[in-house]
Amino acid sequence: MSAKPHVYRAIRGATTLTADEPALVRDATDELLRELMKRNALEAGDIISAYFTATPDICSEFPARTARESLGWHDVPMLCAVEMSVPGVTPRCLRVMLHAAPSGKNAVHAYLRGAAALRPDLA
């Protein structure tokens, strides 16, 4: 009998900052990632990769640094990028897409703070 195949999910999340300051980027990133891990019963070893984006008005700190230093994601491939600058975009918004192997059947997303307005159906 063959082994059961792994199930992989893309888990999305977003949050906002009140200002572009390194400590605020770190706090918001930590809060968002911990909430995603809690909602999806994830451990660091379940994370395959993480793709972060930030609106152009966030440039003081890399969210990936927080994931490595605060959550111990030293072996997780991560990438940070600038979000498209579209008129009317939510300011100071940080987003993440985690690729993970959660134990649950469905991905549970998290839209925190001002980012809850982006996807009220997922907040």
What's the distance, CA 37 to chain centroid? Answer: 10
C-alpha 64/C-alpha 26 separation (Å) is 9
pTM: predicted TM-score of the whole model, two decimal places: 0.91
User: Is the pLDDT score of 4 beyond 60?
Assistant: no
User: Is the pLDDT score of 3 beyond 70?
Assistant: no
Q: Higher-confidence residue: 108 or 102?
A: 108
User: Is the pLDDT score of 122 beyond 70?
Assistant: no
* Fold adopted by 9-105: 60s Ribosomal Protein L30; Chain: A; (3.30.1330)
What are the CA-CA distances from residue 110 to residues 14, 67, 75 (Å)?
Answer: 7, 16, 23
User: Is the pLDDT score of 123 beyond 70?
Assistant: no
pLDDT tens readout for residues 9-54: 999 999 999 999 999 999 999 999 999 999 999 999 999 999 999 9
